[in-house]
Structure 1
Amino acid sequence: ADQLPGHRGGSCCRFLCFPQQLLPLITMKPLALVLLSLLFCLSQAGVNKHRPRSAAARGQNETTVQNKANPCKAVPLDFVFVIDSSRSIRPNDYEKVKTFIVNLIQFLEIGPDATRVGLLQYGSVVQPEFSLNTFTSKAEVEQAVRNMRHLATGTMTGLAIKYAMETSFTEEDGARAAHLHIPRIAVIVTDGRPQDTVEQVAAQARQAGIQIFAIGVGRVDMNTLKTIGSEPHSEHVHLVANFSQIETLISVFHSKLCGGSETCELVDHQCQHTCVSSPASYRCKCREGFILNPDGKTCKAEDLCAEVDHGCHHFCASLADGYECRCRPGYQLNLDLRTCSKTNHCADGAHGCEQEFVNTEGSCVCKCRTGFVLRPDGKTCKKVDPCADGNHGCEQDFTSTEDSCVCRCRAGFTLRPDGRTCQSESDRPPHHGGRVLYQMGGRRQSVPT
């Protein structure tokens, strides 16, 4: 039989392999020899198939996500890690965080035109390790992560978020221009309560378009994490019991960022109506009858009134599905749906006025005839007392008539010609042949009675 290249410790024919121990059996019957050799070769193949690879073949002794069988289809990202490096994190736990970062980036395609990765760690101060434009390959990022040194100081989480927003995600530090709509992702890992305020600065970062994943380890207040993370919190806020469990989040990020996830699902797009994903970006779209505002996010109704000859008598109002004519207050739209006529609010007879009514611009108003005033109910009338206002000027008594107030004098007095004052009858001038004598200016004058 021919010897196969590289085979040692046995003999091989072109189709069957058997060890040297079986060579003496070559005198056996041919059929038995064939069966025995075949069984031996199959058993050896099974052993080789299930034999684990050596540590040297595996490479580094750590869990690393490999994606050759299931490549990630993540869109390009601007991805920044914000790592708590406070003194409360033990050295071996700090190494677990570094391993977590290395494993997480395994399923990302890193490059200038793909995903860019930056990292900063913080304690009492912020220490940027590398920016989004520092490295262009995954190997460079991995090496930089492994070379990180523990700060072991305070926990100024708010300061770190502020730095990420104002520096890490700027074009100067490698973030791509906002109009390209590259999702901006920040992953914050912390194990303690912040020593500064985070609510306001985290809200500002989210408003700036940064999608924040908040990962808490150990006894971290969940409400604080929710204050930091984006919504929905079920997808962006995660709490694990210890640093050994942080590896369980790798699958969470893999399903979120990979598997053909749409860009609209990865970013806080703030589209008022609809977000439309594209292979590496997204765009906002408005519903029918609306157009996109210059901000690229909000929508406004199309101004059809400016584009058509609407023929509206008063006003034209654009709607989502067209336009309509409207009238000024006090007017109503006619049956032609274009012209307007003054509204007669009294026409239906439901005004309830006792005497008279007047149609005004906005309603039907009740009125009373002369000599009457409107009661507080605004509908019924009562007779006016001409003397009630006290302006009659009567010296003694007065009496209300149909339409006026008449002065009267008490017994022994008579009303003077002014109709208001009274004089004693004893003071009246004597009668002379049907004439009354009045003393006028020092001389007497006769006046007919």
Structure 2
Amino acid sequence: MCLNSWVLLFAFCFPENTCNNKRLDLVFIIDSSRSVRPYDFEKVKEFILTILQFLDITPDATRVGLIQYGSTVKHEFSLKTFRRKQDIERAVKRMMHLATGTMTGLAIQYAVNIAFSESEGARPLKQNVPRIIMIVTDGRPQDPVAEIATKARNSGILIFAIGVGRVDMNTLKSIGSEPHEEHVFLVANFSQIETLTSAFQTKLLPHMCSTVEHHCDHFCINTPGSYICRCKQGYILNADQKTCSTQDLCAVEKHDCEQICVNTPGSYVCQCYEGYDLDANGKNCVGPDYCALQDHGCEQECVNTDDSYFCQCQEGFRLNPDKKTCKSDLQFCRLDCILDVF
């Protein structure tokens, strides 16, 4: 599998009247194969978080589920699991990379048969609620996808296939709906995925944002009869309600970093002062082991301090004036007794 051949597939199931009252059932399907680099996996999570920004997520409007897959399918959460956007965002951020195979066909089949079942929170077909699948994959599945994609399209699902980097276009076309020039797209890298979000929003919510000059710095969000501006992950909306500034999460969240908190887009990381290493918990800092770094000369025990070390003796011994060697308490006792005699 090629590391730079990701594809992003949007599969939308629309009735004749699209997106009435923003009622959607949306399931994300994320390729978590071993060919996906950790950095790219994080970029996909960021893209999902961006998409969530302009969705009206409530049980009566948009419901969201998430599946990731490798050699098998892992259902992270269903359409009925979360009722609030912030809970979904936390679950996306916690998602861990599987690093296994690429069974794309299996994932699509799982979504059609299970993720969109009423028992998993999908609304009945008679309610005409659009069903949406968004799949992120490398475009080189290890199982057949054409047959299940055809089955999905024949059931009324419209599939948009978007490639990132070097992709297998035949695979994209076997999944995407026709005409391909309207449903198969290509962007050069992950940084350009965000350029697709406006088009995605327009397809779902073609209202005020597409008909007025909104001047939103990042995203325009349709509301009944109006609109509001929203910012990308890691930014906050300024007082003018249109422009965006970088958000200082180190200042507004309880980060628990022992020494240094550093903001990153949409999150933060802990770092340590020079000479210290970050602990495995990602929060605390571990000082250098001075006892291991140099010939300390301690006869029995060496103890680290923040910036140096000192020698100490085991029980029953005392430290000599040289601060390195030890004598037994018995030897000190004999010396004291002799001095007492004189």
Contact map agreement 1:214 1:237 (CA 8 A) in 2:
yes
The corresponding residue for 2:322 is none
Asked if residue 169 in structure 1 is aligned to residue 116 in structure 2, the reply is: yes
| One-letter identity of the residue aligned with 1:88 | S
Does the residue aligned with 2:112 lie in a helix, a strand or coil? helix
1:153 counterpart (100, 103, 125)? 100
Contact map agreement 1:81 1:118 (CA 8 A) in 2:
yes
1:246 counterpart (193, 211, 226)? 193
Q: Deviations over 1:27-73 (max 9, x none)?
A: xxxxxxxxxxxxxxxxxxxxxxxxxxxxxxxxxxxxxxxxxxxxx98
| One-letter identity of the residue aligned with 1:240 | V
| One-letter identity of the residue aligned with 1:226 | K
| One-letter identity of the residue aligned with 1:201 | I
- CA–CA distance in structure 1, aligned partners of residues 151 and 32 of structure 2: 23
Relative contact order, CA 8 A, sep 6+: which one is greater?
2
Contact map agreement 1:102 1:142 (CA 8 A) in 2:
yes
Asked if residue 137 in structure 1 is aligned to residue 106 in structure 2, the reply is: no
- Aligned pairs for 1:38-437 (under 5 A) are 75-260=22-207
- CA–CA distance in structure 1, aligned partners of residues 191 and 131 of structure 2: 27
- CA–CA distance in structure 1, aligned partners of residues 200 and 182 of structure 2: 9
Does the residue aligned with 1:250 lie in a helix, a strand or coil? helix
Contact map agreement 2:31 2:138 (CA 8 A) in 1:
yes
Task: Report how far residue 213 of structure 1 moved.
Answer: 3.1
Task: Report how far residue 170 of structure 1 moved.
Answer: 0.8
- CA–CA distance in structure 2, aligned partners of residues 174 and 108 of structure 1: 17
Task: Report how far residue 205 of structure 1 moved.
Answer: 1.6
| One-letter identity of the residue aligned with 1:244 | S
RMSD of aligned Cα (Å): 2.1
Identical-residue share of aligned pairs (%)? 65
Contact map agreement 1:109 1:115 (CA 8 A) in 2:
yes
Query: TM-score of the superposition, structure 1-length normalised?
Result: 0.41
| One-letter identity of the residue aligned with 2:123 | R
> Are residues 212 and 174 of structure 1, via their aligned partners in 2, closer, same or farther at CA, if it must alter by over 3 Å?
farther
Does the residue aligned with 1:101 lie in a helix, a strand or coil? helix
The corresponding residue for 1:400 is none
Q: Deviations over 1:374-415 (max 9, x none)?
A: xxxxxxxxxxxxxxxxxxxxxxxxxxxxxxxxxxxxxxxxxx
Task: Report how far residue 228 of structure 1 moved.
Answer: 1.2
Does the residue aligned with 1:162 lie in a helix, a strand or coil? helix
The corresponding residue for 2:287 is none
Does the residue aligned with 1:223 lie in a helix, a strand or coil? helix
The corresponding residue for 2:268 is none
Gaps in structure 1 of 5+ consecutive residues:
1-71, 262-278, 280-449
Gaps in structure 2 of 5+ consecutive residues:
1-18, 209-223, 225-342
The corresponding residue for 2:319 is none
Query: TM-score of the superposition, structure 2-length normalised?
Result: 0.53
Task: Report how far residue 147 of structure 1 moved.
Answer: 0.6
| One-letter identity of the residue aligned with 2:146 | E
Aligned residues: 191
Q: Deviations over 1:350-376 (max 9, x none)?
A: xxxxxxxxxxxxxxxxxxxxxxxxxxx
- CA–CA distance in structure 2, aligned partners of residues 191 and 238 of structure 1: 14
Contact map agreement 1:222 1:239 (CA 8 A) in 2:
no
- CA–CA distance in structure 1, aligned partners of residues 120 and 98 of structure 2: 23
- CA–CA distance in structure 2, aligned partners of residues 198 and 255 of structure 1: 28
Task: Report how far residue 232 of structure 1 moved.
Answer: 4.1
- CA–CA distance in structure 2, aligned partners of residues 88 and 245 of structure 1: 20
Task: Report how far residue 111 of structure 1 moved.
Answer: 0.8
Contact map agreement 1:83 1:122 (CA 8 A) in 2:
yes
